[in-house]
Chain A
Amino acid sequence: MRLRLFLVEALRSIRSSMSISVAATVTVLNAIFILGIFIPVYLQVQSEVNRQREKLDIRVYIDDNATVAQVNGLRTIIASHPNTESFVYVSKQDALDQVSKQVDPEVLAELPANPLPASFEVKPKDPEKAGELIDAVTGNPALDTSGGDPITYGKETADKIIRAGNIIRYAGLGLLIVLMIASVLQIANTIRLSIFARRREVEVMKLVGATNWFIRWPFMIEGVICGVVGAVVSVLLLLAVKLAVVDTFFELSDSPFAGQDGATLSFPELALILVAAGAVVGALGGGITLRRFLRV
Chain B
Amino acid sequence: MPRRTDAPSSASTARAAERAAERASRRPRGRPHVHGQARTLLRPGDGPMVVFDAVTKTYDETVVGLDDVSVSIDAGEFVFLVGQSGSGKSTFIRLITRELEPTGGRVMVGGRDLTQLQRKKVPYLRREIGCVFQDYKLLPNRTAFQNVAYALEVTGQSPRAIRRKVPEILNLVGLADKADRRPGEMSGGEQQRISIARAFVNHPALLIADEPTGNLDPETSIGIMQLLYRINRTGTTVIVATHDREIVDKMQMRVIALEGGRVARDQRQAGYALAD
* B residues 103-138 in Cβ contact with A at 8 Å: 120, 123-128, 131, 137-138
- Residue of B150, B154, B155 most packed against chain A (CB within 10 A): B154
Bound Cα distance from A2 to B158, whole angstroms: 10
A92 within 8 A of B: no
The verdict on A208 contacting B156 (CB below 8 Å), with A8-B1, A12-B141, A201-B139 known, is: no
Contact present for B124 and A209 (CB under 8 Å): yes
Compute how far the CA of A223 lies from the CA of B152 in the bound complex, rounded to whole angstroms: 25
Q: Indicate if the CB atoms of B131 and A205 lie closer than 8 Å.
A: no
CB of B97 within 8 Å of the partner chain: yes
A204-B139 CB under 8 A given contacts A2-B156, A8-B1: yes
Q: Which residues of A contact B127 (CB under 8 A)?
A: 208-209
Q: Which of A4, A201, A208 has the most CB of B within 10 A?
A: A208
Whether the pair A207, B126 counts as a contact (CB closer than 8 A) is yes
Interface centre among B3, B125, B138, B153 (most CB of A within 10 A): B153
* A204–B139 CA distance with the chains assembled, in angstroms: 7
Given A201-B139, A214-B154, verify A208-B99 contact (CB < 8 Å).
no
Residue among A12, A204, A205, A296 with the highest chain B CB neighbour number at 10 A: A204
- Which B residues are in CB contact (< 8 Å) with A210? 123, 154
B198 to chain A, nearest CB (A): 7
B interface, how many residues as a size bin? 20 to 34
Contact of A204 with B1 at beta-carbon distance under 8 Å, contacts A209-B123, A209-B124, A209-B155 already known:
no
Q: How far is the CB of B90 from chain A (nearest CB, A)?
A: 14
Interface residue total, chain A, C-beta cutoff 8 A: 21
Which partner residue on chain A sits nearest B156 by CB separation? A2
A204 in contact with B138 given A8-B1, A209-B123, A209-B151 (CB within 8 Å): yes
Bound-state CA distance A200–B136 (Å) is 12
Contacts of A2 in B (CB 8 A): 153, 156
A206 engages B126 (CB within 8 Å): yes
**Chain B residues with Cβ under 8 A from A209's Cβ?**
123-128, 151, 154-155
Which of B1, B120, B141, B198 has a CB less than 8 Å from the CB of A208?
A: B198
A113 is an interface residue with CB less than 8 A from chain B: no
Q: Which residues of A contact B142 (CB under 8 A)?
A: 12
| B-contact bits for A189-214, CB 8 A (1 contact / 0 none) | 00000000000110111111111101
Within 8 Å CB of A211, what residues of B? 120, 123, 154
Inter-subunit contact B137/A204 (CB<8 Å): yes
- In the complex, which residues of chain B have a beta carbon less than 8 angstroms from the beta carbon of A201? 139-140
A164 to B264, CA, bound (A): 82
Residues of chain B with a CB closer than 8 A to A208's CB: 126-127, 131, 150-151, 154, 198
A4 to B162, CA, bound (A): 15
Answer whether residue A5 sits at the interface, using C-beta atoms and an 8 A cutoff.
Answer: yes
| Distance between Cα atoms of A207 and B96 in the complex (Å) | 12
Judged by a CB distance under 8 angstroms, whether A102 is at the interface is no
| Contact residues in B for A207 (Cβ distance below 8 Å) | 97, 99, 126, 131, 137
Complex CA distance for A214 and B154, rounded to whole angstroms: 7
The 6 closest A-B pairs by CB, nearest first: A209-B127, A209-B126, A16-B141, A210-B154, A211-B123, A208-B151
18 A-B Cβ contacts within 8 A?
A2-B156, A4-B1, A8-B1, A12-B142, A13-B141, A200-B137, A205-B154, A206-B126, A207-B97, A208-B126, A208-B127, A208-B154, A208-B198, A209-B126, A209-B128, A209-B151, A214-B123, A214-B154
- Add 17 more A-B contacts to A200-B137, A208-B131 (CB < 8 A): A2-B153, A8-B3, A12-B142, A205-B150, A206-B123, A206-B126, A207-B137, A208-B126, A208-B154, A208-B198, A209-B123, A209-B124, A209-B125, A209-B128, A209-B151, A211-B123, A214-B123
* Interface set of A (CB-CB < 8 Å, partner B): 2, 4-5, 8, 12-13, 16, 200-201, 203-212, 214, 296
